[in-house]
């Protein structure tokens, strides 16, 4: 009886102990789960890393895998699980990890890239769990090399990619033209001087410019505008310079058209602006050019711009009041016309004809690689501008520009070194508030330009001022011409 009771008691005690052990295991498991959840709670936000902009990923720990056997295993795994071989690159395998929690040795792998193909944490866990343990340091890859206590647990060949310090969007890229940014998917810039539209990620730009800045006649002082389409012909594939110079060759093609604005500003919103006399011809122009960056040093290059009339204009019927004129007593008909009541000479109309520039340029950025906040560009070369005089007269209520059979008309084109010389220097600061200053000498005209932000980076104010440097001002030129315009910059 005693023995039976002892046995029963032992069974009861054993059941109690077993229950206690099970409860303890469950409590420990629960506590471990809670602890792990708390430890990883601060890093749960990285699960959505696939949707975060690439610039943010640069701030996380990253390294490239250079262990040949491990590279081959990762490449094969991507191939086996259906990734296109066109996307894969065995030499570009990169690991993205979360920052290590305090007192933890191993990393948590967030993203594995092989060329352009990537695996997120769920795909890594399903497809290459063993490989991920090697990558994170949970498992020793080199069985002949034991990591010392406290040392990095990764025992394979890897190259660290240093995390980058977060920067402001305005400092993040080394763009050449702030008003026409290449680093945006879509961009629109609107001002009185220029209107630009970036056509998605194609690299195409549609531009409309008022005036001919290249020879110093900005805004409406040239009497013409031009519309061009710019497209890239060659991309820069050099990883060290393509952020600064994404395109090696940019070409543009379009046409120039005349306008009659600015001849008489009295009673208009621009009554404070000087009236113009210079005109563009009624036949229009073809506008073409390119910038070619040298592949061996993309910051350096050559540029060409040409604006050529569509015809050799000799005589043309025109509308009254659309052309600026001035008196020229030397101009007269060679056949004796103009001295009777049927022909009324109104004066001489100067027309801006051929223009062009051939230059060498250099782009120069100052500042760290992460914040290239100081930008300089220098252009030097030759410039050409030709202005032809036409006699303007009215005959039988019809208005005509005439060059045939007229004497005493002038042709203004370069005849000295100063007329040919072209130089332009531009500075842009892109730190907290983007602003720019530039100075150009062309056709013996000094053109200064500046812009500054008013509201954020989307609303700016731009001003341009030109002054004639030659000793004798030509009759169609304005000694000092100033214009100011708001600038609306919208980017996506």
Residue 349's pLDDT is 96
Residues 207, 334 within the same domain: yes
Assign 318 a pLDDT band (cuts: 50, 70, 90): very high
The least confident of 137-151, 308-322, 363-377 is 137-151
Residues 472, 388 within the same domain: yes
Pick the more confident residue, 453 or 175.
453
Residues 126, 207 within the same domain: no
What are the tens digits of pLDDT across the range 23-39?
344 344 444 433 343 43
Domain boundary among the residues 104, 132, 161 is at 161
Per-residue pLDDT, averaged over 98-124, amounts to: 80
Structure tokens belonging to residue 217 = 């006649």
Residues 72, 190 within the same domain: no
pLDDT at 16 over 50: no
As a dihedral over the C-alpha atoms of residue 113, residue 115, residue 117, residue 118, rounded to 10 degrees, the angle is 10
- Within 8 A by CB and 6+ apart from 246, the residues are 182, 203, 232, 235, 236
Domain boundary among the residues 128, 161, 194 is at 161
Residues 141, 194 within the same domain: no
pLDDT at 9 over 60: no
Is 220 among the domain residues?
yes
Assign 166 a pLDDT band (cuts: 50, 70, 90): very low
Range of the domain at 94: 45-161
Distances (CA, A) of 403 to 312, 332, 351, 355: 10, 10, 11, 20
Per-residue pLDDT, averaged over 167-194, amounts to: 76
Residues 193, 327 within the same domain: yes
Compute the distance between CA of residue 109 and CA of residue 129 in angstroms, rounded to an integer.
Answer: 11
Per-residue pLDDT, averaged over 182-188, amounts to: 86
Is 104 among the domain residues?
yes
Residue 33's pLDDT is 38
Is 5 among the domain residues?
no
Pick the more confident residue, 260 or 143.
260
Residues 186, 142 within the same domain: no
Is 19 among the domain residues?
no
Is 30 among the domain residues?
no
Helix, strand, coil shares of the chain, percent, nearest 5, are 20, 40, 40
Domain boundary among the residues 161, 184, 199 is at 161
Question: Could you write out the DSSP letters of every residue in 361-392?
Answer: EEEEEES-SS---EEEEEEEEEEEEEEEEEEE
Residues 227, 100 within the same domain: no
Pick the more confident residue, 99 or 418.
418
Is 171 among the domain residues?
no
Residues 109, 184 within the same domain: no
Assign 230 a pLDDT band (cuts: 50, 70, 90): very high
Is 155 among the domain residues?
yes
Residue 239's pLDDT is 79
Residue 383's pLDDT is 98
Structure tokens belonging to residue 391 = 């006699």
What is the domain count for the chain? 2
Cα 439 off chain centre by:
21
Residues 248, 285 within the same domain: yes
Sign, Cα dihedral of 67, 68, 70, 75:
positive
Per-residue pLDDT, averaged over 255-267, amounts to: 93
Residues 376, 456 within the same domain: yes
Residue 373's pLDDT is 76
Is 8 among the domain residues?
no
Structure tokens belonging to residue 116 = 């352009």
Compute the distance between CA of residue 361 and CA of residue 351 in angstroms, rounded to an integer.
Answer: 30
Choose the most confident range, by mean pLDDT, from 60-64, 68-72, 275-279, 319-323.
275-279
Residues 361, 474 within the same domain: yes
Structure tokens belonging to residue 364 = 């120069």
Assign 148 a pLDDT band (cuts: 50, 70, 90): low
Question: Could you write out the DSSP letters of every residue in 177-230?
Answer: -TTS-TTSSSEEEE-SSEEEEEEGGGTEEEEEEEEEGGGTEEGGGGSEEEEEEE
User: Half-sphere exposure (CA, 13 Å, Cβ side) for 416?
Assistant: 8
Chain mean pLDDT for the chain:
83
């Amino acid at each position: 009886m005693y023995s039976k009771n002892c046995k029963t008691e032992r069974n009861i005690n054993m059941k109690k102990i077993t229950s206690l052990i099970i409860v303890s295991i469950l409590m420990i498991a629960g506590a471990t789960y809670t602890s792990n959840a708390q430890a990883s709670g601060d890093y749960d936000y990285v699960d959505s890393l696939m949707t975060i902009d690439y610039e943010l990923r640069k701030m996380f720990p990253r390294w490239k895998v250079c262990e040949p056997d491990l590279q081959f295993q990762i490449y094969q795994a991507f191939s086996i699980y259906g990734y296109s071989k066109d996307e894969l690159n065995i030499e570009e395998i990169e690991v993205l990890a979360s920052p290590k929690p305090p007192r933890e040795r191993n990393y948590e792998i967030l993203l594995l890239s092989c060329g352009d193909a990537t695996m997120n944490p769920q795909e890594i866990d399903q497809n290459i769990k063993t490989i991920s343990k090697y990558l994170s340091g949970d498992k020793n890859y080199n069985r002949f090399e034991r990591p010392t206590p406290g040392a990095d647990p990764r025992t394979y060949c890897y190259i660290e990619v240093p995390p980058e310090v977060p920067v402001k969007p305005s400092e993040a890229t080394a763009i050449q033209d702030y008003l026409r940014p290449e680093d945006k998917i879509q961009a629109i810039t609107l001002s009185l001087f220029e209107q630009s539209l970036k056509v998605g990620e194609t690299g195409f730009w549609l531009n409309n410019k008022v005036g001919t800045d290249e020879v110093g006649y900005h805004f409406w002082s040239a009497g013409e505008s031009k519309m061009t389409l710019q497209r890239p012909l060659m991309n820069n594939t050099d990883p060290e310079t393509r952020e600064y110079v994404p395109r090696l060759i940019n070409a543009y093609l379009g046409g120039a058209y005349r306008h009659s604005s600015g001849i008489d500003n009295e009673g208009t919103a621009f009554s404070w602006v000087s009236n113009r006399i210079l005109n563009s011809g009624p036949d229009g122009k073809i506008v073409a050019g390119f910038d070619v960056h040298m592949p061996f040093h993309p910051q350096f290059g050559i540029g060409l711009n040409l604006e050529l009339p569509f015809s050799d204009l000799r005589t043309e019927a025109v509308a009254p009041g659309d052309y600026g004129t001035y008196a020229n007593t030397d101009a007269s008909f060679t056949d004796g016309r103009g001295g009777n009541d049927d022909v009324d000479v109104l004066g001489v109309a100067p027309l801006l004809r051929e223009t062009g520039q051939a230059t060498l340029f250099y782009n120069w950025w100052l500042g760290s690689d992460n914040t290239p906040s100081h930008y300089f560009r220098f252009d030097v070369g030759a410039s050409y501008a030709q202005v032809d005089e036409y006699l303007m007269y009215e005959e039988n209520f019809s208005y005509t520009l005439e060059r045939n059979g007229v004497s005493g008309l002038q042709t203004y084109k370069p005849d000295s070194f100063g007329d040919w010389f072209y130089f332009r220097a531009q500075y842009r600061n892109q730190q907290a508030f983007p602003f720019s200053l530039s100075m150009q000498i062309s056709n013996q005209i000094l053109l200064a330009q500046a812009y500054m932000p008013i509201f954020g980076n989307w609303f700016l104010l731009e001003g341009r001022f030109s002054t004639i440097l030659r000793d004798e001002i030509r009759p169609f030129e304005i000694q000092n011409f100033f214009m100011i315009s708001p600038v609306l910059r919208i980017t996506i």
